Every structure is written in structure tokens, then in C-alpha cells.
């Protein structure tokens, strides 16, 4: 029994072809939107790629860009096919192309769905990438005179100012690393020497943060040194001075930033997928089956039936499974021991008949 069977008149088939022509052109526009969203996401990721440990998440914008370009090409071809399918004679030119076109559209819509799901599933990978990348960037913050790292200080300062964040998880992360280069340390100062010697790794650690951690919302001058010693500052209470430094970590700030972008993109891509599946792909399948049935009937003016699946879901699944299962049989070697063994009938020699030929003298 066919799934979704509908009877179409000639006028309804023509209207369906015209509507599908319009829907395919709308799909070309949605393909351009997919391409634009992927390009926008790629640019946003590359803005702060220095603070990421790897660029593995770039497969998401690359997927959207590729799918968008494919959508433009496939749906442009689909608009031409659907417009010609309003005429039975023109449909014959596209009859052999219709099924491959539907299959390509099906795989294209599957890629659209995969792109939407990627936007929602990449959060954990992005979180780990930001954590490791920010940790390394903070470690190289002081290397302003080292080729390949001299730009990291500027990048991290801009990040903390723009996103109003400090450190990786919070501002205390700066206490665990040496973020002041040795070239700016006064090694003749006994206090500096004692601090360096007191550290196992010979690092100059202090309870201070860079200037970019200072909050612009604070009513008092920024306190960025001796943060663990309230007695070092007049009228200073570490618990009450919430606005003196940015308290949110940059990992969480960037994670929220990218998560918001990807969720918006994912929702848009999901709506595009629903449009492609429910309207374009389903409509083209109805048009194909209805036009093929008209050709079988031999009367272009007659009514014809269209469907999504010719048989039930179970029958279609069994049929396709049997096709896949039998594909490998062509390459199997028959191990039957009786193969190529001559039979008794083959051993018998068929006597040849002697034909007497009269030769005229």
C-alpha cells in the first residue's frame, strides 16, 4: 500500500509544478543564507582563534558553507526541472534525472540537519578548546619580545576589555603564572630576588592582574596589585569590591558568546531543513510519481496518483535491505565442490549422423 497517496488532475499537476518552481527559487535564497551564516561563524571564530587550542570546531562553518553552495546549485536545477514537468512532453527529457535529483536533494537535506545538530553539540568541544587555549595564551602573555608570541598580550588585553572578563576561570588565575617578563624585573632588588628564589620553578608570582582586568564600573581607582592583602589598601574589602575587577572568566564569556551565536544559527538552519523536507522534497516526489503514472496511462489529460513511497515503510525497508544484501553476491566465489564437475549427461557422446552425399558424375 502506497504511503501518502494523492490523486492529481492535470490542472493540479500544473499548479504543483509552478509552486515547486517558486519553492526551489526560495531554496536558492535559503542556500545563500546558509552560506552567509557559515561565513559569518567562521569569521567570528577566527577573531579569537589565538585563544583556542585547536581549530577543530571550524568544521561547523565549513559544513554550512559547503551545504549552502550545494543548496544553490541543486535548487537552481530543481527550478528548471519543475517548470518543465508541467508539460508531459518536456517531462520525458527529465524522467531519468528526476530520481537522482530527489536522492541528491535528500542527502542535501540530511546535511542541513547535520549542520543544525552540530551547532548544538559543539559546546563541550568548544569549552575544552577555550580552556586549554586561554591557559597557554596567559602563559605567553609576558613574551612580548618573542617572535610568534609578541601579539598575544595585545590579543588577551583586548579580549578582557571587550568581554569584560579576567583570567581563564576568574581573576585568580593570574596569581598562578608569571605574566611580567624578566626584562622588566629589577633583579638588584632583594625582594624581587627572594620572590623568584622562593618559587620552585624560579617564576616571579604575585597576587596581581593586568590592567585589562580593571572594571570600568568601579567608582574608585583600580586595585590590581596585592589583591590578597586587604591591609595594603585603605578602605578595601575584598568581598565587597565586586566592581573593582571583572569577576567573570574569559572562558565562560567566550563560551556564552559563541553558544548564543551557534544556537541562533542552529535554529535558522533547522527551520531551513523543515522547509526543504516538508515542502520542496515532498512536493518534488509527488510531482515525479504523478507524472510517471500519467505516462503509464498514456493520457496526458487523465488523473494520476502520486505518493511518497510506493509501498509501506516496512516493505520499502525490506526491499532496500535485500538490494544491499545481494550487492555482494556478485563478488562471492562459489565454494560448491561439484562446480565444474562434468555430469553424466555431459560424458555421453552424442553420435554424429552420417549424411550420404550423392556426387553427380
pLDDT, residue 294, reads: 85
Length reported for the chain: 361
The C-alpha cell 522534497 sits at 281
Q: How confident is the model at residue 115 (pLDDT cuts 50, 70, 90)?
A: very high
pLDDT, residue 56, reads: 62
Distance CA 351, CA 278 (A): 72
pLDDT, residue 3, reads: 74
Distance CA 55, CA 279 (A): 36
CB of 128 within 8 A of CB of 181?
no
Q: How confident is the model at residue 136 (pLDDT cuts 50, 70, 90)?
A: very high
pLDDT higher at 192 or 39: 39
Residue 114 has pLDDT above 90, yes or no: yes
Least reliable range by pLDDT among 2-16, 207-221, 256-270, 340-354: 340-354
216-260 pLDDT, tens digit each: 887 778 888 888 777 777 766 655 555 588 989 999 999 999 999
Burial class (CB in 10 A: 0-12, 13-18, 19+), 331: exposed
The stretch 44-57 carries a mean pLDDT of 84
Q: How confident is the model at residue 324 (pLDDT cuts 50, 70, 90)?
A: low
Least reliable range by pLDDT among 39-43, 66-70, 212-216, 324-328: 324-328
Distance CA 224, CA 171 (A): 10
146-191 pLDDT, tens digit each: 888 888 999 999 999 999 999 999 999 999 999 998 888 888 888 8
pLDDT, residue 235, reads: 67
Distance CA 64, CA 183 (A): 47
268-281 pLDDT, tens digit each: 999 999 999 999 99
CB of 137 within 8 A of CB of 152?
yes
Distance CA 154, CA 89 (A): 67
Q: With pLDDT > 90 as the criterion, what percentage of the chain qualifies?
A: 41
pLDDT higher at 318 or 341: 318
Residue 346 has pLDDT above 90, yes or no: no
- Sequence spans of domains, the chain: 6-137+252-312, 171-246
Count Cβ neighbours within 10 Å for each residue of 180-191 and write b for 16 or more, e otherwise: beeeeeeeeeee
CB of 123 within 8 A of CB of 255?
yes
The stretch 354-361 carries a mean pLDDT of 47
Residue 55 has pLDDT above 70, yes or no: no
22-38 pLDDT, tens digit each: 999 999 999 999 999 99
Find how far residue 41's CA is from the centre of its chain.
11
Instruction: Please state whether beta strands 6-8 and 304-306 pair in parallel, antiparallel, or not at all (unpaired).
Output: antiparallel
Could you tell me the CA-to-CA distances from 234 to 156, 207, 220, 242, 351 in Å, in that order? 30, 17, 11, 16, 126
Q: How many CB atoms lie within 10 A of CB 73?
A: 13
pLDDT higher at 301 or 352: 301
The stretch 99-121 carries a mean pLDDT of 90
Q: How confident is the model at residue 145 (pLDDT cuts 50, 70, 90)?
A: confident
pLDDT, residue 350, reads: 47
58-105 pLDDT, tens digit each: 889 999 999 999 999 999 999 988 888 877 777 878 888 888 888 888
pLDDT, residue 65, reads: 95
184-222 pLDDT, tens digit each: 888 888 888 888 888 878 888 888 999 999 988 877 788
Amino acid at each position: 500500500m502506497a504511503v501518502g497517496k494523492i490523486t492529481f488532475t492535470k490542472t493540479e499537476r500544473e499548479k504543483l509544478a509552478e509552486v515547486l518552481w517558486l519553492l526551489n527559487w526560495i531554496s536558492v535564497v535559503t542556500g545563500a543564507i546558509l552560506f552567509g551564516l557559515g561565513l559569518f561563524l567562521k569569521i567570528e571564530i577566527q577573531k579569537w582563534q589565538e585563544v583556542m587550542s585547536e581549530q577543530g570546531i571550524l568544521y561547523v562553518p565549513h559544513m554550512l558553507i559547503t551545504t549552502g553552495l550545494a543548496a544553490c546549485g541543486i535548487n537552481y536545477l530543481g527550478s528548471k526541472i519543475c517548470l518543465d514537468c508541467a508539460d508531459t512532453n518536456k517531462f520525458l527529457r527529465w524522467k531519468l534525472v528526476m530520481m537522482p535529483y530527489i536522492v541528491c536533494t535528500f542527502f542535501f537535506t540530511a546535511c542541513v540537519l547535520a549542520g543544525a545538530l552540530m551547532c548544538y553539540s559543539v559546546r563541550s568541544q568548544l569549552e575544552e578548546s577555550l580552556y586549554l587555549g586561554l591557559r597557554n595564551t596567559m602563559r605567553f602573555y609576558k613574551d612580548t619580545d618573542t617572535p610568534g608570541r609578541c601579539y598575544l598580550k595585545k590579543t588577551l588585553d583586548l579580549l578582557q576589555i571587550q568581554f569584560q572578563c579576567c583570567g581563564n576561570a576568574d581573576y585568580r588565575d593570574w596569581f598562578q603564572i608569571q605574566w611580567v617578563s624578566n626584562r622588566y624585573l629589577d633583579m638588584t632588588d632583594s625582594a624581587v630576588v627572594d620572590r623568584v628564589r622562593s618559587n620552585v620553578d624560579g617564576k616571579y608570582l604575585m597576587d596581581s592582574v593586568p590592567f585589562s582586568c580593571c572594571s570600568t564600573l568601579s567608582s574608585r581607582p583600580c586595585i590590581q596589585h596585592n589583591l590578597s592583602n586587604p591591609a595594603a589598601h585603605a578602605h578595601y574589602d575584598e568581598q565587597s569590591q565586586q566592581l573593582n575587577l571583572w569577576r567573570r572568566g574569559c572562558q565562560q564569556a567566550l563560551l556564552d558568546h559563541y553558544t548564543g551565536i551557534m544556537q541562533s544559527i542552529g535554529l535558522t538552519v533547522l527551520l531551513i531543513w523543515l522547509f526543504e523536507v516538508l515542502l520542496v522534497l515532498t512536493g518534488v516526489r509527488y510531482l515525479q510519481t504523478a507524472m510517471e503514472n500519467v505516462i503509464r496511462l498514456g493520457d496526458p489529460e487523465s488523473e494520476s496518483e502520486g505518493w511518497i513511497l510506493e509501498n509501506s515503510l516496512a516493505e520499502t525497508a525490506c526491499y532496500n535491505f535485500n538490494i544491499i544484501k545481494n550487492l555482494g553476491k556478485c563478488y562471492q566465489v562459489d565454494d560448491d565442490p561439484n562446480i565444474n564437475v562434468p555430469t553424466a549427461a555431459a560424458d555421453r557422446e552424442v553420435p554424429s549422423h552420417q549424411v550420404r552425399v550423392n556426387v553427380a558424375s
